[in-house]
Amino acid sequence: MYKLLSASIKEVSRKINAGEIRPSDITKASIKVTSVTKPLNAYISITDETANKYAKSSDTRQQSSSLLGELDGIPIAIKDNYCTKDHKTTCASKMLSNFIPTYDATVYQRLKNAGAVLIGKTNLDEFAMGSGTIDSYYGITRNVWNSDVLEKYYSCDSCIEGHTKQSTDENSWHIAGGSSGGSAVAVATGSCYAAIGSDTGGSTRNPASYCGLIGLKPTYGLVSRYGLIPLVNSMDVPGILTRHVDDAVLVLNSIAGPDEADSTCSRREYVPFDIPNTIDVSNLRIGIPQEYKEKNLCPEVQKCWDEVSQYLKEAGALLFTVSLPHTNYSIMCYTVLNRCDVASNLACYDGMEYGYRADEWNSLHEQYKKTRTDGFGKVVKERILVGNYFLLEENYEEYYVKAMKIRRLISDDFNAVWNNNIDLLLTPTTLTEAPIYSEFISMDNQAQCSIQDYCTQPANMAGIPAINVPIKLSKNGLPLSLQLMAPPYTEKRLLTVAKWIEQRVKFPKLKLKDLSLLE
């Protein structure tokens, strides 16, 4: 049973349909894995009662041959910034540590409608502000690679001796990436088959890169944001983390499409699709942006980039060097827009209507002050202060308006490339393998994000779809990955080429040992 937790959704779904396994048994095994991998801190809450309830409903549908589809009975996880009725939604913040929504986010509701089973709510940087999942009120999420958890409970398609020599001292752990690090570790460890993250500047693709997963950021507006607690309204996109490209397709088919509850959601009809196993990439026009050859790009990632480019060329694809000249301005632009939206979106947390409320205050002003001082972490408070500064009447034109103009130029860069008949862009996702925790925290949050999101953030500025594909393990036994980007609403093309790369590189997967260790 535990070996099936390393399989694909399609494979498990076939076994459920054939009556070879029960959804409730798969769910019990998934919940067990969340307990043995607890030191990695992937989850803020485990929804075991709900999971067992929904799994039993799947059992009933299985017995009556009325399963809802390929996700019926499949354990999934949701980032803890999505509203889930009757379950806490904390955003990894003290401010919302006791917040229980009265409704479900559209993404979660659609997964429930497809029969998926919620295993738990995953950890993140507080209010999704970060690139490491280290700024959570509930503690750091650790990468499963190079951990004693991996050594004890997992095997790998490749030799893992190099992964297991790391000290268990906190400062030697490698980060999981962020802000959807909890979702990434949940999938990588096999406690669920897919997890929903959110992607504002790379927060799905970044942890997918560090944890060796498929990480999909759909086109802005393709998937409803209703019930996703906002960070930057015009860039937030629900993201998908899986171990296989086909699994990402299944999840996307379940959650994409118009939603009357979200005015930013596209009204165009979404047509579900499958990807064949035999894929022809000949004559595809693939761009290699020269600005992504950043000075901090590590040689191993550059080698992956060169090798996959060569694989595509040998298969008949046409490669072109292209230019996205405003790439270097993207992080600075994002910094301004992010802080402005943070200041606006978090103004509602004043201790009056919901969320944390400070005790022992003598005036309304003091209540506001103490609530926000005690309820928010350092990173959140800094971003609120900076955002309010940018939005001052005397600063608005200088910062916010200019940032919006630069954003348009970044988007125009991509449009110029697409108009030149480029089908896809191939770039790094992150500049390095997953950093060591002690090195990561030696910089402030802004410096971290500037480095970690360099390659991912421009896609959010332009609203285009992008995907992380793991390529190989580094000499340190950590995942190295690349990114594909495509024109808006061309997810089928994006995922098709991602599957071709997946088939070609055969990235080694972690597999649970069986086993009595889990009994």
Contacts of 24 (CB under 8 A, 6+ apart): 52, 55, 56, 58, 59
State the average pLDDT for the chain. 94
Residue 380 lies in a domain: no
Taking the C-alpha atoms of residue 29 and residue 153, their distance in angstroms, rounded to an integer, is 14
Examine residue 138 and state whether it is found in any structural domain, yes or no. yes
Q: Which two tokens stand for residue 460?
A: 């959010």
388 in a domain, yes or no? no
179 is catalytic: yes
d(CA 479, CA 432): 9
pTM: predicted TM-score of the whole model, two decimal places = 0.96
Show the domain range for 495: 1-160+168-277+428-512
CATH of the domain at 89: 3.90.1300.10
* Cβ proximity of 7 and 516 under 8 Å: no
Task: Report yes or no on 149 lying in a domain.
Answer: yes
Domains contained in the chain, number: 1
Label residue 444 by pLDDT band (50, 70, 90): low
Query: In the 3-class helix/strand/coil scheme, how is 179-239 assigned residue by residue?
Result: CCHHHHHHHHCCCCCEEEEEECCCCCHHHHHHHCCEEEECCCCCECCCCECCCCCCCCEEE
In a domain, 413, yes or no: no
pLDDT at 253 over 50: yes
Least confident stretch, 3-7, 66-70, 101-105, 318-322: 3-7
Q: What is the mean pLDDT of residues 299-323?
A: 98
CA 258 to chain centre: 21
**pLDDT (mean) for 106-125:** 98
Q: Is residue 239 part of a domain?
A: yes
Q: Which of 141-150, 257-266, 406-415 has the lowest mean pLDDT?
A: 141-150
309 located within any domain: no
Catalytic residue among 30, 58, 183, 203: 203
Q: What is the pLDDT of residue 449?
A: 66
Q: What percent of the chain has pLDDT over 70?
A: 95
Question: Among the options 79, 112, 472, 499, which is catalytic?
Answer: 79
Distance of CA 165 to the CA centre of its chain: 28
Q: Which of 58, 147, 179, 180 is catalytic?
A: 179
Identify how many contiguous H helices and E strands the chain contains and give both numbers: 18, 13
Task: Mark whether 203 is an active-site residue.
Answer: yes
Is pLDDT at 158 greater than 80 in this prediction? no
Give domain status of residue 401, yes or no: no
Active site residue 136: no
Look at 350 and 193; give whichever has higher pLDDT. Answer: 193
